[in-house]
Structure 1
């Protein structure tokens, strides 16, 4: 072995708590990963480390396990631990507006200074998402350095020794140091003995020069090596101590003081390998994996992968959640006068910027119903705080809400938000403000094949023309191709801001019984304080008539389909009869009622004309298959009517969806209408 150079070693973890993650899961991560890692590290006071905890996780630890926070504070006090800052609620910084970026950085800095008596000098970026403009943002926010994946250095053209040295990133004359994380080595470490890992570090030291640094910074929530309580970490830290002659464990700030970087490197838009992989559609993801493997064998240059904003396109639901966040940002920043309320609304907005629910990386995230619900709840709470500061008048506005170069209509009532999209003429958001819940927060998986990419989102008042052969199973498999009008851009025929109401009109071909006819549909949406009336008019053009079946798809998103979260009732004149939420066909009904148990809300769907109805739970299978239980998304209800339209005739109907809180329903007791809220032993319906 040649001359051994000194090698700077940064050991650290980044730990996070996704907004909406179940308490039991967080406790399990604490017991299996967070506590064992810190307990072991504490026993080696001469081995420094860099630790990042998201603001939500710090709050959870302070509430549930203050003893661990005290341990961290002691290690900070004895200069063993350097606390790394970041956005307080774990946002993807390039995704959020500039003033929110700085606000989140400042909130985290303030919290850490109060809790640990020190100001963070560095910043951890959620999922390593980098944008060149972040150099100036971070510097303005008081940050001196950050970490990025070594594969991101690859994309900037760095090779060999450049992957083992910090660089300078600059924007608008402001700069920060960027330390490469040896992600490949961190990944391989899980299968290595500690002695083999130290031998690998020795080889790096032998071939390296001055200022060489290896940053082994991994996910602190992992329950396997190198963070498990199986003796692996203890053995590694012992070897680090034994090899102090050439292996120097340091904090990031100490290393940058001793070896300040001077070479600039302009890093492109990039992100972690996981996000670069999963932001691609399934076919491109497969090709990317093959290119990545070839690059690791030295056969090809590293592939760039996808960019996180592609999730907003691949998953329209993610794009709409992002649009809601941006809309809320505008509302919060328009608030004047009341600083306390503005700060409270701003905090809810920032909480709703927690990145986990906006994307999917093979588990949880966007696919997790609870995580999306938590984001929407925070954004709706921010809106409620804003409305409480002024005299509020219900209104309907036309705005390009989702930046698709079209106009969406947003009804903003005192207790109800209802957002209407021209594409499909359907409601895509339905917020009941008293419970801060978006009942159209649904999801359709797009991870299986190319066909998935074209599936319609699960909105409300999506129109399907169904032939006689179409059954519930066909509809559930999305194999009918029946939603022609769900893909059509509807025209605005009337807009009355006073009532308020919107009349939408669309014309398209419908094929039934071996013939095709041109059908015109009009839908008049009338918005009321706690309900929405939808008046349908369907007419056929030309001289030929049309016999077909119209189904109106209405999705309602609840916490789960368990009786403790959601119950479904048929409404009759004298009684409300409970049915289960399994897939079924209901032969005849005049109304349906869903009981949102945790929020204490009932959602009633009624029709002037009796209907048959399909009811089915919408679930997303785990990815990869077999990795877990299906994730419930919503209950899909499809009232249906048989139409026999002749030339010059029209079919008309009046549908309604309304909301009531449990206390309001119970106040109506004694007025002659039975309440399913009080009926704990309902009768069971017969289904078709």
Structure 2
């Protein structure tokens, strides 16, 4: 019989805020329920279990018997309940006060619902910075799990990762367990005997080892092909049978028990890191490609096992750089968090403050802020959920601060933390954020009544995995493969749908085209820009009246070799759901004709749905919101989303051509590569013929009618979990 070994099987089950109801239910039926049923039959086995806050709340509302059973198994010492930050934020992107608040609030919830005395926590995506130690300890946490990769980045070898370590920050002490990457790739994909053999080797090589598997519970049934493999083909039963048959030397234990009864291997300070794959995904695309190429070239080199521990990828926070849309959510969230904290320090309390905190915490759920093997930031419903809760939190703060029923305001500040000033124009109905130094673009437009940011789209950009898409579809190795090994197309011909944008898909983008440009050319990204306004810097000023504010943005630029001045104004009045937009083009030679367009994007209004459509002045439907329209000499165009309860209507002061087309990305998810609708482009465009003074102007009204949503606000939404 091999020497004894302690083995911890720690599962992390999570569904993000905003995920679809049917995805929660599918994961429950395919993973969470059957795993617990099989596990319950093996009375000698023990596991550690982390259920994220969004999933726990959903289970409590939809399958309370599941949580009841988990509580019973915890009371009988078969399941150790692991805590965490309530709504699964990346700890690196939230302030210390929110880290402590999220951890403590979830520990209280688990104590009340499951009777669990939480001592340890799951680190979301294992994104670690050493300064977290103090916040975790101050929140009552004694231990956590990270990947063995973190420890290798600190200089430890594989042979030193057989037990937990102690770390500290400013005198606060925390126990840290290394989770095995080898076991992450073996369980549940390899034969159970491979894990038994590995544990036997570790037992022979190390005194009193503690070996930890810590990974997603969804691997046991929800990941592609795993339900059949794990349950129908009996992998989980064979695994539990093998552990049971070897219980004479494999002691299934918990993290708390291991910490209490086994001395730590030593003290360690861990560098900023996550699991290995996450550090690769955080790299800029070209560097990620180079990283993958080096790893592929070195895979069979005898020096690679020695060199690999010294090779690491990027830093998680740089997802805010890689994806500006992530930074937009992050900076919006941070502003609300700091505003709430300032309010709390004045002694403010009450229902509005508590609701603001809850919605803020929900808006910090990590999944929409990054992208790797999972859909993440590419999934509109996750981004929309973040904004829904952040907009709601801001509304609660307005109420807590006693804002009047009708108001309008403007401010200039570094709103997105890039070292330059942006502009915020807001009233009791809308919030508009503009970036003068980025083409004077409108980059956020929040509609308070439906808690929706109409500009929460995504710009199409290269991804390292697009090499695989362009190479064509393959299923990877036979049998049940890890999601990291599969190349599966969820729609046909995705290799023909990869397209990149030359500018952000926002609004108030000022474009000058060649004569004869067509809708097809513009939609394909082939229309040459003759002006220097898209990425140019605009001068800004604010004009104020008591109940009406205008932001003016002006730029002296060029169209080809012709100097042209553009002044655009955005006006908002108190209590109004209408943005008034005015354009003035000046200094145009009288003998020149220009092709001018202004691009708008509308996100979160999906295509190919009967209740989302374009319409004309009379209300006649012109097609769903993925339709390519080429309209001439009209002055009105509407976009209706009856599910969301909003109608967006353009009204122009002169006859206008309108082009519309969908923006779709090709992105990676755990189920394969997929085409995702991100936004719909609306481009009003004109042939500009200047007057005798070289001037041309147009005004537009962008009216955002939410009367449908407001009429049914008392009806519960059922399509997503908020």
Q: TM-score scaled to structure 2, two decimals?
A: 0.87
Structure 1 contact 166–177 (Cα < 8 Å) conserved: yes
In the alignment, what sits opposite 2:598? Answer: 552
Q: Which residue of 2 aligns with 1:427?
A: 442
**1:266 corresponds to 2:264:** no
Alpha-carbon distance between aligned partners in 2 of 1:533 and 1:119, rounded to the nearest angstrom? 56
Choose from 534, 540, 546 the match for 1:492.
Answer: 540
Question: How far, CA to CA, are the matches of 1:205 and 1:77 in structure 2?
Answer: 30
Q: In 2 relative to 1, CA 207–277 (structure 1 residues): closer, same or farther, beyond 3 Å?
A: same
Q: Structure 1 residue 460 and structure 2 residue 507: aligned?
A: yes
State the partner residue of 1:182: 180
- Which protein, 1 or 2, shows the higher relative CO under an 8 Å CA cutoff with sep ≥ 6? 2
Tell me the distance in 2 between the aligned counterparts of 1:66 and 1:75.
Answer: 14
Distance 1:403 1:241, change over 3 A: same
Counterparts in 2 of 1:290 and 1:448: CA distance versus 1, 3 Å: closer
Q: Which residue of 1 aligns with 2:124?
A: 126
Distance in 2, Cα, partners of 1:624 & 1:473: 29
Counterpart in the other structure of 2:235: 232
Unaligned residue ranges in structure 2 (runs of 5+): 467-497, 712-722
- Does the residue aligned with 2:360 lie in a helix, a strand or coil? helix
**Aligned mates of 1:460, 1:162 — CA distance in 2:** 54
Alpha-carbon deviation of 1:479? 3.2
SS of 2:218's equivalent in the other structure is coil
Aligned with 1:331 (options 325, 333, 339):
339
Q: Which moved more, 1:309-318 or 1:280-289?
A: 280-289
Cα offset, 1:663, TM superposition: 4.7
CA contact (8 A) 2:432 2:446 kept: yes
Relative to 1, partners in 2 of residues 1:277 and 1:452: Cα closer, same or farther, differing over 3 Å? farther
Q: Indicate if the aligned counterparts of 2:501 and 2:525 stay in contact, CA closer than 8 A.
A: no
- Describe the shift of the 1:317–1:455 C-alpha distance in structure 2 as closer, same or farther (beyond 3 A): farther
**Residue matched to 2:41:** 43
In the alignment, the residues of structure 1 paired with residue 279 and residue 11 of structure 2 have an alpha-carbon distance, to the nearest angstrom, of 21
Question: Aligned to 1:540, which of 583, 587, 594?
Answer: 587
Matches within 5 A, 1:555-574: 555-571=601-617
- Offset of residue 584 of structure 1: 2.8
Tell whether the 8 Å contact from 1:520 to 1:538 is kept in structure 2 after alignment: yes
- Which structure 1 residue ranges, 5 or more long, are not aligned? 667-688
Partner of 1:10: 8
1:24 CA displacement: 1.1
* 1:400 corresponds to which of 396, 408, 414: 414
Give the secondary structure class of the aligned counterpart of 1:480: coil
Residue aligning to 1:510: 559
Give 1:71 deviation, angstroms. 1.2
Query: Of the candidates 651, 658, 661, which is equivalent to residue 606 of structure 1?
Result: 651
- Write the deviation string for residues 333-355 of structure 1: whole angstroms up to 9, x where unpaired: 24353422101110000000000
Bigger mean CA deviation after superposition, 623-632 or 456-465: 623-632
Matches within 5 A, 1:370-389: 370-389=381-400
Distance 1:453 1:615, change over 3 A: closer
Moved >6 Å (runs of 4+): 449-454
Hey, what does 2:215 align to over in structure 1? 218
Shift in CA distance, 440/664, structure 1 to aligned 2, threshold 3 Å: closer
Provide Cα deviations, 1:168-191, integer angstroms capped at 9, x if missing partner.
121111121110110222213343
- What's the CA shift for 1:386? 1.6
Q: 1:391 aligns with which of 403, 418, 421?
A: 403
**Are positions 1:315 and 2:323 aligned together?**
yes
User: Given that residues 569 and 594 in structure 1 are in contact (C-alpha distance below 8 angstroms), is that contact kept between their aligned partners in structure 2?
Assistant: yes
Alignment of 1:91-490 (within 5 A): 91-210=89-208, 212-222=209-219, 223=221, 224=226, 228=231, 230-261=233-264, 263-292=266-295, 294=298, 297-298=304-305, 300-302=307-309, 303-335=311-343, 337-389=348-400, 390-392=402-404, 393-422=407-436, 423-448=438-463, 455-482=502-529, 484-490=532-538
Question: Counterpart of 2:277 in 1: which secondary structure?
Answer: helix
Hey, what's the Cα distance between the residues in 2 that align with 1:243 and 1:366?
44
- In 2, the alpha carbon distance for the partners of 1:201 and 1:662 equals 63
Matches for 1:575-654 after TM superposition, within 5 Å: 576-581=620-625, 582-623=627-668, 627-645=672-690, 648-654=693-699
**1:378–1:264 CA distance, 2 compared to 1 (3 A):** same
- Determine the C-alpha separation between the residues in 2 that align with 1:146 and 1:444: 37
Structure-1 residue corresponding to 2:714 = none
Contact 2:12/2:51, CA 8 A, preserved across alignment = yes
Q: 1:364 to 1:608 in 2, by over 3 A?
A: same
**How much has 1:575 moved relative to structure 2?**
5.7
Give the alignment's Cα RMSD to 1 decimal: 2.4
Give distance in 1, aligned partners of 2:149 and 2:579: 51
Distance 1:665 1:214 in 2: 55
